[in-house]
Amino acid sequence: MQKILLAELDRTDETVSSDLQPLDEDSTGKEWTEMQEMLSVALDDIEDELFEISSVERTHEEMEKLSKLTGRLVQSFIQRIPGNGIPVERECIAICFLAVGLARRTIEEWKKPQEAVNLVAVAARGVGALKMYKVMPIVATRRAAHARHAKDREKAEAIKAWYRENIAKYRSMDAASLVVSDLLDVSFRTAHKHVSDEAKKLRSARRA
């Protein structure tokens, strides 16, 4: 992610797809001022979201640390130094704040309106990428847990299917659970749980 964002910052003179587009060159000063205001408001929203998802506090001390981190990051990028020792997440956060800072300065100077639009778009995409970076480990954990429990779900369905087909052969759920636990190589407790669940479901269906 950090490589993509740095590449974007490195080519801000090119057009970046965005909902925010500058007005024509012959637009009036008032229209350009409105455009600056619109970009500034959009950037404020992006910055607020960045502070929220990055957990960076709005203190002078924190911003000083971030400024130093950004300086290291920029130098390593300019000098093409691999492995700058900065943790990936902190690097991504620094890049996002760098994009916001550059966008803010470009909007205030208003010498290159197209570049201002580009930088706001880069900042927005950076925050979106950072959100995905923080979410993906959670998604991966859930997927792994889902995969781990896949066999358990298969066993549960097999126990329930067996009980539906053989319910008439056994006078009690205990007796059925004992048999199916041997057949499917599961504990009696596991078998009884799923047999009980299926029995309740079948009773509800008969009442309906």
Over residues 36-82, the pLDDT tens digits come to 888 889 888 888 888 887 777 777 787 777 777 767 766 665 555 55
Weakest mean pLDDT among 62-71, 155-164, 168-177? 62-71
Packed helices 173-183 and 188-207: angle between N→C axes, nearest 10 degrees: 130
- The structure tokens listed for 127 are 């925050």
- The structure tokens listed for 164 are 């539906």
pLDDT(92) > 50: yes
- Closest C-alpha to 130, from 196, 15, 16, 46: 46
- The structure tokens listed for 113 are 């309106």
Rounded to two decimals, the pTM is 0.46
- The structure tokens listed for 119 are 């930088």
Query: How far apart, in whole angstroms, are the C-alpha atoms of residue 46 and residue 63?
Result: 17
The stretch 145-157 carries a mean pLDDT of 82
pLDDT(175) > 90: yes
160 pLDDT band, cuts 50/70/90, is very high
Tokens 């959670």 identify what position?
138
pLDDT(2) > 60: no
Query: How far apart, in whole angstroms, are the C-alpha atoms of residue 92 and residue 89?
Result: 5
Report pLDDT for 179. Answer: 93
Report pLDDT for 203. Answer: 85
pLDDT(18) > 50: no
Report pLDDT for 7. Answer: 54
Query: How far apart, in whole angstroms, are the C-alpha atoms of residue 202 and residue 68?
Result: 66
What is the average pLDDT value for the chain, to the nearest integer?
A: 75
CB atoms within 10 A of CB 117: 25
